[in-house]
Amino acid sequence: MSAAEVAPGGQQVPVRVRRPMPARFFRSELLLIFGRRRNWVGGLILISVPVILAIAVRASPPGGGESAPFLDRITGNGLFVALAALVLEMPLFLPIAVAAIAGDSLAGEANLGTLRYLLAVPVDRARLVLVKLGGIAVFTVAATFLVAGVGALLGLALFGGGPLVTLSGSTVPFGEGAGRLLLICGYVALCMVALGAIGLFISSLTEQPIAATTATLIVALASQIMDQIPQLSAIGPYLPTHHWLAFGDLLRDPIGYDGVRPGAASALVYLAVFGTAAWARFAGRDVGS
């Protein structure tokens, strides 16, 4: 894109307007996300779950009849604090955090009146959508590993480590157990990034970030509710939340992929479809604020 300025002789000379470098633009987006106090507060709320869980189990160890996944295994290996925390946070807390960031991505800029000026820099709309999606992905990965990291460190401090007992009943060395925890975090983060792509698309439809955040969260909750209705079992595998808890397969010996493989494929499809939809919608949108 170029502008024109008048030369001393009265002739207009085109002047090229410099586009912001992609890396600088992306760093600016990350600073915007991680620099907000409300996001720091959200992070503290996320890590409060593994902290409360570890302290509660330490104060009152669970009995053999506990039904919460991984809860009865925490005292045997502190890594299970991280796993139990992820199970507890996936239905609500992590989706809320992702929905807040995704809903605010485009709608927040429009609501503040900065979107029009941002595009006047100029910034290519496709690049803007890609940067926003990248920011959502980085935040989601950071949030997931933050929950698991705090849970693992606190769990190891309170309950120790050692070999990890798999869901198959066998044991694997501590190093392999920690590696499986990293795989689980990667899988959970991918599922949440897919939800973030849905939120980005919804954010491109409105100028109200609260509405976009609420709608994204409703999508996640409605999907989980429909997945529990037997009459809707035919559409269950196609719901965005259907495979969220399939990461238990990564704790089997040998590792199972019956749930993880379709779960990862589903997340990638949702990411591609709604990421493209967000670009298509935003590319043709008349930005007036």
Let me know: does 241 contact 163? Beta carbons within 8 Å: no
Q: Is residue 2 part of a domain?
A: no
Give me the phi and psi of 194, to 5 degrees please. -60, -40
Q: Is residue 13 part of a domain?
A: no
Domain membership of residue 90 as a residue range: 19-283
Q: How far apart are the first and last CA of the chain?
A: 21
* pLDDT per residue of the chain (289 residues) written in tens, 0 to 9: 444 545 555 555 454 545 555 788 889 889 999 999 999 999 999 999 999 999 999 998 876 555 567 888 898 899 999 999 999 999 999 999 999 999 999 888 777 766 666 665 556 778 889 999 999 999 999 999 999 999 999 999 999 988 999 988 899 999 999 999 999 999 999 999 999 999 999 999 988 999 999 999 999 999 999 999 999 999 999 999 999 999 989 999 899 899 999 999 999 999 999 999 999 988 766 555 4
**What are the CA-CA distances from residue 49 to residues 77, 99, 247 (Å)?**
18, 19, 19
Close Cβ partners of 180 (under 8 Å, ≥ 6 residues apart): 164, 172, 250, 251, 255
H helices of the chain, in order, are 22-34, 37-59, 79-89, 93-105, 107-112, 115-119, 125-159, 174-203, 209-227, 260-283
Q: Is residue 9 part of a domain?
A: no
Q: Is residue 25 part of a domain?
A: yes
Q: Is residue 27 part of a domain?
A: yes
Q: Is residue 175 part of a domain?
A: yes
| Token pair in block for residue 48 | 């409060």
Q: Is residue 7 part of a domain?
A: no
Let me know: does 250 contact 188? Beta carbons within 8 Å: no
Q: Is residue 161 part of a domain?
A: yes
**Number of domains into which the chain is organized:** 1
